[in-house]
Structure 1
Amino acid sequence: MMGTIADSGEGTDQVNGYGGGKEPGGEHGAPLTQEQVLGIKETWAVLAQDPVERGADLFMKIFEEDPELKKLFYFADEGRELSRDDQRMRSHGERVMEAVGAAVDSLEDLAAVVPVLTELGALHHKYGVQPSYFDTVGAALIYTLETNLGDKLTPHIRQGWVLVYGIVGATMKKGMQRAMDQQNLDKTCP
């Protein structure tokens, strides 16, 4: 099952964080349409032509929106100005874009990527990622789509992207929560 998206009624999409608190799959939205699936795949094909540059776009926006997040990344050494030409950031951005591509490739069966996303969430917990950081990343992804796609990113397709990211983020958050629960259990059990 795909999930749903909630609309704020003000023309902006509200999913799991960057704008709202609705969980994907809730009762306040419509399912992802075939038109959205096709639109997401078509717009992704444009971004996937240069995943290194788009990954750099994404991370530069993330760090612009929340500079504190730099502390989580091995490539953002303290006291050093980070530029979009940093090869370590570009490499990490490319891997993130590959992960987004895997989700796009699985749009017809997002359940197939749930185990991978859950494990990825648990891994991110180990690095000190907080659930709220997904909001910043989601907003940066939508910004990256908007700035690179222009008119190709119609409101309907944008809504689909917000939904897909909401599902990905919610799944990773569940993985993080499981890792936190296990860590707490390990601390209390001898």
Structure 2
Amino acid sequence: MPITLSNQELALIEQAFTMARSEELFAQPTLFYEKLFERDPNLRALFREDIAGQGMRFMRTLRTIVTALRQLGGAQEVLEPLARTHGALGVHAQHFETMGEALIDTFKELLGPDFTPEMEAAWRKAYREIADAMIEAGKID
């Protein structure tokens, strides 16, 4: 399943990610997981105790995905192994919606009003396409 984002959407995604990195996204690696567990405390059981380390891996993976979105087929190459890993860890299709909302919450907290409605819409579209591709590639139920 190809990712179908316009150049404008890609620019907004990259801009928001760059801004979030400058706002200490990598210095707050647990923020995404705090938002995730606020939305669904039951998801905590899927993760090891080292949430800070997991958070750093998540941020590196997110950076890799953002970079790969501009490369033809690049996102698929990143997403397929990631999808298999998520499926093996017990992630289900319904968890992706919660993860997407936690990601949006993270951007909103880090960037405040600088996270524009256009950026949010671009991230929501990208996340939905990424999640759908992962669910399909990982045969996640």
Give the alignment's TM-score, normalised by structure 2.
0.87
- SS of equivalent residue, structure 1 residue 151: helix
Aligned partners of 1:51 and 1:95: how far apart in 2? 12
Aligned partners of 1:51 and 1:99: how far apart in 2? 13
Displacement after TM superposition at 1:113 (Å): 2.2
Pairwise CA RMSD: 1.9
Displacement after TM superposition at 1:110 (Å): 5.7
Aligned partners of 2:31 and 2:116: how far apart in 1? 20
Q: 1:40 aligns with which of 13, 19, 23?
A: 13
Q: 2:60 aligns with which of 70, 73, 98?
A: 98
The one-letter amino acid of 1:58's match is F
Q: 2:108 aligns with which of 146, 156, 159?
A: 146
Displacement after TM superposition at 1:34 (Å): 2.6
Name the structure, 1 or 2, with higher relative contact order (CA <8 Å, separation 6+).
2
1:65 aligns with 2:39: yes
Name segments (4+ residues, structure 1) moved above 4 Å: none
Q: Deviations over 1:66-118 (max 9, x none)?
A: 1111111111xxxxxxxxxxxx2111111111111111112322621213211
The one-letter amino acid of 1:165's match is Y
Q: Deviations over 1:153-185 (max 9, x none)?
A: 11112111111111211121112217x8xxxxx
Aligned residues: 139
More helix by share: 2
Aligned partners of 2:98 and 2:42: how far apart in 1? 11
More strand by share: 1
The one-letter amino acid of 1:64's match is E
- SS of equivalent residue, structure 1 residue 70: helix
Contact 2:25 2:110 survives alignment (8 Å): no
Contact 1:120 1:175 survives alignment (8 Å): no
Structure 1 or 2, whichever has the larger Rg, is 1
1:137 aligns with 2:99: yes
1:108 aligns with 2:78: no
Unaligned residue ranges in structure 1 (runs of 5+): 4-31, 76-87, 181-190
